[in-house]
Amino acid sequence: MAFNNRVLTTTQDKIMPSVVDAILKSNVFLTRMLAKTKKWSGETLKFPLKYQKGVGGSSFSGYDLLSTAASDTRINLTFDFKSYSTPIALPLTELTVNAASETKVIDLAAVEAKSKAEDMADDIGTIFYADGTGNNGKDFLGLSAIVDDGTNAATYGGLTRAAFPVLNSTVTASGGTLTLAKMETMHNAITDGSQQPTMIDTTPTIFGLYATLLTPQERIYKTEPIMKGGAAGGTGFNTLYFKGIPVIADRKCTSQTMYFLNEDYLNFYAAPLEGTTPIKYKAVDIRGNDYSDVMGLGFTWSDFIKPVNQAALVAHVYLAGELISENPGRHGKLTGITTV
């Protein structure tokens, strides 16, 4: 409705004291990985991998000669850490206008820092599903490289999958359809005793397809905690279950793909950059996404810096480390899913 000057000259506009995010979508896998970061140490991380059985023993009797053959069964997986940054830049003129206490509704510097950190998390969420070759190999490793049989990533952890087939994940083309039998076969392929998937990660579309395979009695939605093994509390992800394993929908997930992941062998090792400060804020000024709390997720920032030749403040948000699975054979994926 258009008002005349009687109203426009006597009434102030009202700005609501929070920003509603209408662009960032779900980023479940990244949030779950970064909620349980482990600390990076050293120049590279090396994981001893047992890739074959040792020399076998045998039965014997009396004075039979016993084998003294030595076994060489292990080799190191090696990983270097990667780094990612996003800038925060604000002119002093804008900060000056925003600083007036009688007119300020939202702190410009605070909300911009929080918003850019959330944008960065969203970008990295996409990278976590890729193969690590982006930006000339500077991107973090993603599920496309980790959960693979050599099709996307012939080399993993410095070793070729052709020479060390234990590095191959189970990759099965679904032939277009999702069935409980195919999910059962995948589960069995990567399960041994207590070693089994802890999360099934897929797209919202496939999540809906899976729901149609369940009887009404089985179609029970529960809240899965952000962190594996953590208390759900008031936050978490809406899930269904398969053989007691949470099935989670993530809009970042590779299309037509259902991942079966064992999070005991999948971690982000964070390497906080020297001279930076851990991010310790909650995005209370921003509503509408899954990034309300970026504390403890490995993000650091440079604090604001004054450029020598500009009337502005500039800062950088950082995430350094690597997404690593020391046992890719404990993961699998169904591909090409379009229907049931």
Q: Which two tokens stand for residue 256?
A: 């037509």
What local confidence, expressed as pLDDT, does residue 8 receive? Answer: 52
Residues 6+ apart with CB under 8 A from 169: 146, 147, 148, 149, 190, 328, 329, 331, 332, 333
pLDDT tens per residue across all 340 residues of the chain: 565 664 454 444 443 333 343 334 568 898 888 888 899 988 999 999 999 999 888 999 999 999 999 999 999 999 999 999 989 888 888 888 887 766 665 677 777 877 787 888 889 999 999 999 999 999 999 999 999 999 999 999 999 999 999 999 999 999 999 999 999 999 999 999 999 999 999 999 999 999 999 988 777 777 666 656 554 444 566 789 999 999 999 999 999 999 999 999 999 999 988 898 887 655 554 444 455 554 556 788 888 889 889 999 898 888 999 999 999 999 999 999 999 9
φ, ψ for residue 69, nearest 5 deg: -70, 135
Tell me the per-residue pLDDT of 223-247, one tens digit each, with 9 for 90 and over.
Answer: 666 656 554 444 566 789 999 999 9
What integer pLDDT is reported at residue 228 of this predicted model? 66
**Residue 312's beta-bridge partner residues?**
91
Residue closest to 318 by CA, chosen among 303, 293, 300: 300
Three-state SS for 118? helix
Q: Token match 């991942």: residue?
A: 259
Residue 189's CB is within 10 A of a number of other CB atoms, namely: 14
Sole residue written with tokens 């699975």: 325
How many Cβ atoms from other residues are within 10 Å of residue 315's Cβ? Answer: 18
Per-residue pLDDT of 46-75, as tens digits, reads 999 999 999 888 999 999 999 999 999 999
